[in-house]
Amino acid sequence: MGDSQECREVLRRICAEAGKSVDSAFCRRVARHLEECAACRAQAVSLRGTLELYRCLEAEEVPEEITRDLKKRLGLLTPQEPSSSS
Amino acid sequence: MGGKRTRDYSAEEPSEERLVEAARRGDPKALEQIVLQHQKMVYNLALRLTRDTDEAAVVMQETFLKVFAALSRFRSRSHLKTWIYRIATNEALQRLRHRGRRTFVDLDDLEADPERDFGYVAQRLDRSAHDLLEDRELRDRLEGAIGRLPPKHRAAFVLVDIERLPLREAADAAGISVAALKTNLHRARLFLRDSLAAYMEGGKDGG
């Protein structure tokens, strides 16, 4: 396993999800294996890259009319706020 | 809710405990503040789970109605946000399961595809995510792949990988054990990665 930021991040994630610290025997074994096994390294890096893409998809703003309908349903519309059906 | 004492919560950041306490008394400003603080999170969670803007709006309404109705039972030991996540997830999953006539991929026996060249995929992903996401077709592919995940796998992925909830909280929100959540999460990730790999390799066989 290389020493790049990405490799460290892949290892950190694997260890965190296994509930182990990065300096545990488990994580040292994982690191050693990833160092030697190109196939597992590609699996781990491609998984991490996929998750990174999904995380960068932007969250949508709530459309104004949906907020208005919600507040109307909850009885929170002030007199100055027209409901979307009016 | 007229006649209740109100204060301007938009001008300050009250502690969650004070906000919940005021909301329990029916203070409309406090109730509104809870909506404003959490509506985007609830809407996006519902949108990712249901894949439908109308249903997401309904889930959001039902979620806040249930939150406000049950505020007296909320224990301030847990975070308000986590509690709202749980109610919203439950509401969205119920709708998703009752929708009927939907086809989801079967992930119960999914393993990483040994034929795929993940080295190539890893190499293609070695650019900034923001650069890669300028490709509209790629973004559609990513969104479409989530839509093919069965509800339990979709919930695990959205709660942990998109919303970034700790495993314990995500399992709570999904109403399953941490072990079951991890299994669902692993299969969801493999499916989404393989779907992306199929796209990147130029194949159209991944959905």
B71 shares a domain with B129: no
Q: Look at B47 and A52 and tell me if their CB atoms are within 8 Å.
A: no
The domain of B35 spans: 11-98
Q: Which of A73, A67, A69 is nearest to A86 (CA)?
A: A69
B15 shares a domain with B91: yes
Residue A85 counted as domain residue: no
Locate B30 and state its tokens. 């406090």
Q: Distance between CA A18 and CA B193 in Å, rounded? A: 20
pLDDT in tens, B138-149: 999 999 999 999
Q: What is the pLDDT of residue A26?
A: 85
pLDDT in tens, A20-63: 787 888 888 888 888 888 888 888 888 888 998 999 888 899 99
CATH number at residue B15: 1.10.1740.10
ipTM of model over 0.90:
no
Residue B105 counted as domain residue: no
Residue B109: pLDDT band (50, 70, 90) is low
| Nearest chain A Cα distance for residue B42, angstroms | 9
In chain B, what residues touch A50 (CB-CB under 8 Å)? Answer: 125, 189, 192-193, 196
CB atoms within 10 A of CB B103: 7
Q: Of A31-40, B46-55, B119-128, B163-172, which gets the smallest average pLDDT?
A: B119-128
Residue A82 counted as domain residue: no
Q: Distance between CA B200 and CA B204 in Å, rounded? A: 9
pLDDT in tens, B166-179: 999 999 999 999 99
Please tell me the total count of domains within chain A: 1
Give the residue numbers in B contacting A (CB under 8 Å), as ranges. Answer: 1, 28, 31-32, 35, 39-40, 43-44, 47, 53, 57, 60-61, 64-65, 68, 112, 118-119, 121-122, 125-126, 129-130, 132-133, 138-139, 142-143, 146, 157, 161-162, 164, 167, 182, 189-190, 192-193, 196-197
Number of CB pairs < 8 Å for A and B? 105
Asked if B31 contacts A75 with a C-beta cutoff of 8 angstroms, the reply is: no
Which of B32, B67, B98 is where one domain is finished? B98
